[in-house]
Structure 1
Amino acid sequence: MVSDKIKIEDEELVVLEEVNKDARKKEVSKQVNSDDGLVVIEDPVVVDRNVEDDDIVVKFESLNVKGNPSGVEESGNESDDLFVDAAEIKKEDEESIGELLYASACQLYIFDSVAEKFVLQESSAKVSLYNIGKFDFWFAVNSNSTELGTAINTNINPTFNASKLSFIFNYSFSSVTLSYMLVFENKSRYNLFKAEWCKIFWMSLSKRSWADITKEEQNYVLESAIEIEKQLDEILDSDSGQERNISEDSEEEESEEDDEHSKRIISSVRFEESEQDKSASAGNRSLNVAFKSNRYFVVRDDKVGVFKKAEDDDMEMEFVTAITGIKTLHGKRLDPYSPMLYMEDTSLLMQEGSSSNKIFKMDLNRGEIVEEWSTGDKNVVQYCPSKKFDQTTSEQTFLGLSDKALFRIDPRLNTPNKVVQDQSKEYSTKTNFTSIGTSENGYIALGSASGNIKLYDRLGIRAKTSIPSLGQEIKHISSSADGRWLLAVCEKSLLLMDLTIKTGKNEGGIGFLKSFPAAENVKTYILTVSPEHTLYIEDFTKKSLSFTNAYFNTGIGQKEETIITSTGPFAIIWSIDKVLKNDAVPYHVRRYKSDVVEDNFEFGSASEVVVTLKNDVSLAKTENFKKPSKKVLFPNGNINDFYG
């Protein structure tokens, strides 16, 4: 999947993406110091670890970047384990790598994480793409003194910028993540590389031949990689581009309010756990926000914690009660999974891990399971309200999804199997459905492991629109209330889809109700974290990016303005307005002291969010989220953090 969110200002580039931690042997780069500037080092230099961060060049002082942008003298200490040697990609051995699919001349830049800009590394380099068999592909950059190579996959986090004819990617070795940029001489070379990359990247993810998909599907994959144009008619009722909810301060400083453990955190000791129980616990697992009442429900092991906003301080979280020792009707311990609020927030539906064809109903007033429902031979992978806001009503039916079927569940049926047989859509082949979401009017969106998405205006008929795969599994999916927007979550990216039909006889309609013309594809905005921000996040967490469920702000009669998700200890919000305006960095972040399990908006608000951590629950305002920078993403970072 390719993102096009990059901007170059003066010498500074805002970038993104992350890197391949376990690519093959050739993936690590051989590095050599030369008079021409930084290349990868054979005998790297180690900075004195006792020197304060302000006095050293984090990461780059050891690499002899051309021009020494951080202005620090090189230390003389040496280490054998800072970098690992890599398999060289000799020019005479190129044929042994595999079938050469593309090669072009380019310039190579590297991101200086201290100066927070790209610096020229090689004025004359060559980028090559290889087919190494069985839908595996290889990406290499070579010059007289630099040799980089890696398997092509999502960890590269590829990002294009047409205005600068550039391609930015992340590269990892020995637990170190770097960001590089290729700049092409002219538009022709840039476009050829981009087209070939998109095809190869799609094939590497889907494990299918490019020739196997239709021309329309090919166009959708290629169009999704094109830079987003600034079109005022696509902006959601923007009022002069001003953001009410997200701070626009250019200089973001840490404040006392950033200590979330002051008064806004509710510790999970409220779950009535001893210290021994707490250490043995898997931690908080999910978050559900009530629509009808001031309540938040957090699942932890075989418990449900109930929280609320304090009456005298709307940013103070209070503990209400813990429902502990949850058991089935037969007395078996039940660890709830996939909880869903139901029947005006009076009940909580849930599954247990070992029984995917059973759904349990908990009465929240009684604090116990009161009903168990079977779905027969259908193993439920996910379920959701028949309509987006059914949670606010007494509606009893809801939708279930198996790997190849969509069906209605009605607990009132006087049979053990609660599936409504004449309100079911089953596919003869395994479609590998993974996720389901509905709109206010009951339009249905289904995501799949292959990345395909199907849109229905109602249950039991053929899909009105099928959106081709961009190569990655859809982990979670949700619709705006009116059905215009669709939000799909992949491992390292979010897909924001505009379902409005813009041409043909169905112009002005939406993909839930009408099919798109053959010549028009769903406009898809790929939301990612920029490569240089990914560098900071991965070096701070020592883990790859992995997005949790993402949500629009939502409320009856409320327009969707903002998107929230998280990765590791970072909660992230995207401004839809900024995405449509092609803002260089359309997201803000908030860092917590432990990983975010799930976050969501307060119902009816675009400015207040609820955040569940492993052992805590928190409230926050979106205005306190910060523009991403080294200071925010990698606080107090030093050479130990990068190489230690």
Structure 2
Amino acid sequence: MNVFKSLGGLIWGNQNNPELVQISSGQFYVYKNKGATQRIRECIYIDSMATVRRTSQPYQYTLAINRVFEEGEESLQDDEDDDDERTFLIDQEMQFKKGVSAGATAFSWIRPGKEEAGLVYEFVCDDETTVYTANNFEITMYQCMYERKYRKSHFSADDEAIQEFQLKAHFGAEGPDREQQSPTVKKEKSVKKEQDDMDQKIIMPAIRNFPRSYEVVADTVCELNLFDPRTNLFMIQADNVHCRLLRTGKFTYWLVVLASDDKQYLAQPVEPRMNPTYSMPQLSFIWNYFDEQQNVFSWLLRFPTEVSLSKFQTIFGQCMYEVINRQSWDKVPAPDQKYMIMTYQEDADMRDNNARTQQDEEDSEEYSDEEEESYSEESDEYEEAEDDEINDLADNFKKDTAINSQLAVGYKDRSFVVRGNKIGVFKHNDEDGLDFTTTIKNISDRKGKELTPSRVVLHEQDTAMVMMDSRNLDKAYKMDLEYGKVVEEWEMPGTSGVLNLTGNSKYAHLTDNKTMVGHSQTAMFRIDPRLSGSKIVENEFKQYAKGNDFTCVATTDNGSVAIAGAKGDIKLLNAIGKNAKTALPGMGDPIIGIDVSGDGRYVLATCKTYILLIDVLNSENKKLGFDASFPAKNKPQPIKLHLRPEHVATMREPVSFTPARFNTGVNELEKTIVTSTGPYVITWNFRRLKQGHTEYQMKKYSDNIVAENFKFGQDRSIIVALPHDVKALPKRSLTSPTELFKKRSSK
């Protein structure tokens, strides 16, 4: 068997992905000459990842080393410092080799040329990097060198041709301690197994009948591919098929793919959960297909030209808008059409990690429990508690048949989890873990009537919690957390039902500020509990038209307000009771959660299958959208965050995001975004998002996630509420989808 080719087929198969292979964690060093005989070693990035990427030029590839930002790096405080990536053109002259540095796998190379003569670069892998991953990385480097030298695909080469680059990779200067055994010397069993998987017939979705009364609105000849999670390959199913968009009824469309003889390959209604993704450099459209049994697949259409893809993308976006909004695209104002089209567009600089193989369920569950810290599973937390009563309370809370529904993370050292009419209280320990403290039982109003909190907000320096009960949306309840009793009831009449309350400003809960901001479906207002009777401040009450249908609200450091609606629209205000300064149109998908950076520059809006990150700073007048309107023809362009369709196919379930959040903290820069879907926690590096890189990291649990949020004041620990458990998740234990979805290999 050709070992290079068998491994390479798994890595190179997805032409749509700019990344070939990645090592997600390691240290980056440079060796420098100091005098005639001495060399010194300097650390460039203490935490970094190494990636081999395609370029826009055929047969040319780069090795990119990116700094991974963690709390405590002083350079993070300088937002103008963009030196977080070093790139190297992959060429035989770079003298790339694998070795060992202080017992760890390491890769070394030089940058050819006089400017960096004498410099030797080294990437030292972290302990969790498997032999399989390191071998893949090394092999891919040699394959890239082959293609650059011979200007042709390496798939036509034999092992000896590729080994030419391995054998010539020598250093004349000190680098790693010694060379490791090459993967070409010993053919690993996992290689054959994955090759066998590739030879198996791909699982095809069942053919679905589509309406026979229709109007063709688009018809393009394409190449059809189906994603196989076992091998991480998009497998070609047919050349020269007709991709058609059909109007089958009022605001109803179907996507149908047919051969020239009308043989049907697939048909599905246009719907939001298709999760469409475009790549102009690869001329591709990727999406998810759900069959009638709700099995998930990922298809790819490759278009012949950029013009044909761009035309299809525009028409598909219009069809999707009409399906979601039940309204003609022609009725959308031209400036709003431009904003929506920009939202649907895919960022060409995307750097997403790609799934490699179908996930092995048993191994995945084992992986998900390796590095997490939990009040219920972390070594001997209960046994170490001095008070036996705490242990009993913890056991009782853990065994309760009710499920967790709400999570509130305090700024001091407490987190609170609502379960039925109880609240579990957890203390953050010095190791960024959780210790169970107590249970607040039998939550009730001041007359002793049982309450089931549906919304909870920490208040007054975390000494109080304001909560609502979905059975009475005209009243809020303030609980004294020291005594675990409701001490105040706030009447809020005339709103037709309060849906959410939040702090007067983003960090109001750090102060003794009494007022709060609230909204109903059609109104926004301020709450002042010091008022007698109704707690709504009359001159700060704004009733909007019925069509707004507000769903969530957030505030900035200075008290500006962002409020979002069920049609995806967002309003930005600098004062309650006045008209919005900026109104951003919606795509039609309800926004289920909204967050704002402390300074108000970035808005984070969560829909079910995607998240919008919006920079609301007007580059022309340097004012925020909270303080001044954007020109109608120059609305801000959102960055659309979503999971790649092939990852969704590997997950085998539809996406349903929980509200995404920034990490928080006084004088703490927003560095990471967190959300979840099903059993997966997902994070994005916020700094890299601003630079156009939309890759994400993931972690899988054995149960669906209820809510998650960062520990206050940093982003290295994430508090995760599961239906019957609460965990402190170290951010370092999240990994790329490439690592998460691949089959476990023996080290």
Q: Which band: TM-score by shorter chain? A: 0.7 to 0.9
Residue 465 of structure 2: aligned partner = 348
Deviation at 1:10, TM superposition (A): 4.6
Q: Are the structure 2 counterparts of residues 350 and 11 from structure 1 closer, same or farther at C-alpha, using a change threshold of 3 Å?
A: same
1:249-270 per-position Cα deviation (integer Å, ceiling 9, x unaligned)? xxx9949734656417989996
Q: For the residues of structure 2 that align with 1:484 and 1:11, how far apart are their CA atoms?
A: 40
Paired residue for 2:726, among 617, 624, 631? Answer: 617
- Is the 8 Å Cα contact of residues 555 and 603 (structure 1) preserved in structure 2? yes
1:518-572 per-position Cα deviation (integer Å, ceiling 9, x unaligned)? 22012201100111111122x2xxx421111211011111211110011111111
Residue 166 of structure 1: aligned partner = 284
Residue 448 of structure 1: aligned partner = 565
The answer to whether structure 1 residue 206 and structure 2 residue 325 are counterparts is yes
Q: Are the structure 2 counterparts of residues 73 and 599 from structure 1 closer, same or farther at C-alpha, using a change threshold of 3 Å?
A: closer
The answer to whether structure 1 residue 386 and structure 2 residue 496 are counterparts is no
Deviation at 1:220, TM superposition (A): 0.5
The answer to whether structure 1 residue 588 and structure 2 residue 715 are counterparts is no
Q: For the residues of structure 2 that align with 1:151 and 1:255, how far apart are their CA atoms?
A: 35
Q: Are the structure 2 counterparts of residues 529 and 361 from structure 1 closer, same or farther at C-alpha, using a change threshold of 3 Å?
A: same
1:26-52 per-position Cα deviation (integer Å, ceiling 9, x unaligned)? xxxxxxxxxxxxxxxxxxxxxxxxxx9
Paired residue for 1:119, among 209, 216, 235? Answer: 235
The answer to whether structure 1 residue 573 and structure 2 residue 683 are counterparts is yes
Paired residue for 1:226, among 345, 357, 365? Answer: 345
Residue 549 of structure 1: aligned partner = 659
Residue 32 of structure 1: aligned partner = none
- Is the 8 Å Cα contact of residues 205 and 297 (structure 2) preserved in structure 1? no
The answer to whether structure 1 residue 632 and structure 2 residue 634 are counterparts is no
Give 1:257's aligned amino acid: E
Q: Percent identity?
A: 30
- Is the 8 Å Cα contact of residues 56 and 72 (structure 1) preserved in structure 2? no
Residue 153 of structure 1: aligned partner = 271
Q: For the residues of structure 2 that align with 1:15 and 1:349, how far apart are their CA atoms?
A: 47
Matched residues, number = 540
Residue 555 of structure 2: aligned partner = 438
The answer to whether structure 1 residue 308 and structure 2 residue 466 are counterparts is no
Q: For the residues of structure 2 that align with 1:623 and 1:161, how far apart are their CA atoms?
A: 30
Deviation at 1:127, TM superposition (A): 0.6
Give the SS at the match of 1:190.
helix
Residue 246 of structure 1: aligned partner = none
Paired residue for 2:199, among 72, 94, 113? Answer: 72
Q: Are the structure 2 counterparts of residues 347 and 259 from structure 1 closer, same or farther at C-alpha, using a change threshold of 3 Å?
A: closer
Q: Are the structure 2 counterparts of residues 264 and 97 from structure 1 closer, same or farther at C-alpha, using a change threshold of 3 Å?
A: farther
- Is the 8 Å Cα contact of residues 350 and 361 (structure 1) preserved in structure 2? yes
Give the SS at the match of 1:257.
coil
Q: Are the structure 2 counterparts of residues 117 and 83 from structure 1 closer, same or farther at C-alpha, using a change threshold of 3 Å?
A: closer
Q: For the residues of structure 1 that align with 2:243 and 2:481, how far apart are their CA atoms?
A: 60
Q: Are the structure 2 counterparts of residues 300 and 256 from structure 1 closer, same or farther at C-alpha, using a change threshold of 3 Å?
A: closer
Deviation at 1:335, TM superposition (A): 1.1
Give the SS at the match of 1:510.
coil
Residue 491 of structure 2: aligned partner = 374
Q: For the residues of structure 2 that align with 1:270 and 1:529, how far apart are their CA atoms?
A: 41
The answer to whether structure 1 residue 559 and structure 2 residue 680 are counterparts is no
Give the SS at the match of 2:640.
strand
Deviation at 1:214, TM superposition (A): 0.6
Give 1:210's aligned amino acid: W
- Is the 8 Å Cα contact of residues 281 and 348 (structure 2) preserved in structure 1? no
Give 2:701's aligned amino acid: Y
Residue 12 of structure 1: aligned partner = 14
Give 1:289's aligned amino acid: V
Give 1:127's aligned amino acid: C
- Is the 8 Å Cα contact of residues 13 and 117 (structure 1) preserved in structure 2? no
Q: For the residues of structure 1 that align with 2:733 and 2:727, how far apart are their CA atoms?
A: 13
The answer to whether structure 1 residue 401 and structure 2 residue 519 are counterparts is yes
- Is the 8 Å Cα contact of residues 266 and 616 (structure 1) preserved in structure 2? no
The answer to whether structure 1 residue 532 and structure 2 residue 646 are counterparts is yes
Q: For the residues of structure 1 that align with 2:681 and 2:238, how far apart are their CA atoms?
A: 36
Paired residue for 2:247, among 121, 131, 156? Answer: 131
Pairs within 5 Å for 1:151-550: 151-173=269-291, 174-228=293-347, 254=367, 257-258=370-371, 262-263=377-378, 278=399, 280-281=401-402, 283-291=403-411, 293-310=412-429, 313-378=430-495, 379-415=497-533, 417-503=534-620, 507-537=621-651, 539=652, 543-550=653-660
Q: For the residues of structure 2 that align with 1:211 and 1:614, how far apart are their CA atoms?
A: 45
Q: Are the structure 2 counterparts of residues 160 and 269 from structure 1 closer, same or farther at C-alpha, using a change threshold of 3 Å?
A: farther
Query: Which structure would you say has the larger RCO, counting Cα contacts within 8 Å and 6 or more residues apart?
Result: 1
Give the TM-score normalised by structure 1: 0.78
- Is the 8 Å Cα contact of residues 266 and 618 (structure 1) preserved in structure 2? no
Q: For the residues of structure 2 that align with 1:420 and 1:265, how far apart are their CA atoms?
A: 51
Give the SS at the match of 1:596.
coil
Residue 103 of structure 1: aligned partner = 219
Deviation at 1:300, TM superposition (A): 0.6
The answer to whether structure 1 residue 86 and structure 2 residue 207 are counterparts is yes
Q: For the residues of structure 1 that align with 2:696 and 2:200, how far apart are their CA atoms?
A: 36
Deviation at 1:172, TM superposition (A): 2.2
Q: Are the structure 2 counterparts of residues 323 and 500 from structure 1 closer, same or farther at C-alpha, using a change threshold of 3 Å?
A: same
Q: For the residues of structure 1 that align with 2:249 and 2:380, how far apart are their CA atoms?
A: 51
Q: For the residues of structure 2 that align with 1:574 and 1:84, how far apart are their CA atoms?
A: 32
Q: Are the structure 2 counterparts of residues 116 and 336 from structure 1 closer, same or farther at C-alpha, using a change threshold of 3 Å?
A: same
Q: Over aligned residues, Cα RMSD in angstroms? A: 3.0
Give the SS at the match of 1:414.
coil
Give 2:638's aligned amino acid: T
Give 2:334's aligned amino acid: K
Give 1:115's aligned amino acid: T
User: What 5-or-longer segments of structure 1 have no aligned partner?
Assistant: 1-7, 17-51, 58-67, 76-81, 232-240, 242-251, 638-644
Give the SS at the match of 1:450.
coil
The answer to whether structure 1 residue 608 and structure 2 residue 724 are counterparts is no
Deviation at 1:609, TM superposition (A): 1.2
Deviation at 1:581, TM superposition (A): 3.3
- Is the 8 Å Cα contact of residues 198 and 231 (structure 2) preserved in structure 1? no
Deviation at 1:73, TM superposition (A): 5.7
Give 1:513's aligned amino acid: D
Give 2:345's aligned amino acid: I
Deviation at 1:577, TM superposition (A): 2.6
Q: For the residues of structure 1 that align with 2:200 and 2:337, how far apart are their CA atoms?
A: 51
Q: Are the structure 2 counterparts of residues 598 and 386 from structure 1 closer, same or farther at C-alpha, using a change threshold of 3 Å?
A: same
Q: For the residues of structure 2 that align with 1:269 and 1:201, how far apart are their CA atoms?
A: 53
Q: For the residues of structure 1 that align with 2:421 and 2:743, how far apart are their CA atoms?
A: 36
Q: Are the structure 2 counterparts of residues 437 and 422 from structure 1 closer, same or farther at C-alpha, using a change threshold of 3 Å?
A: same
Q: Which has the higher helix share?
A: 2
Give the SS at the match of 2:638.
strand
Q: For the residues of structure 2 that align with 1:110 and 1:573, how far apart are their CA atoms?
A: 27
Q: For the residues of structure 2 that align with 1:9 and 1:593, how far apart are their CA atoms?
A: 28
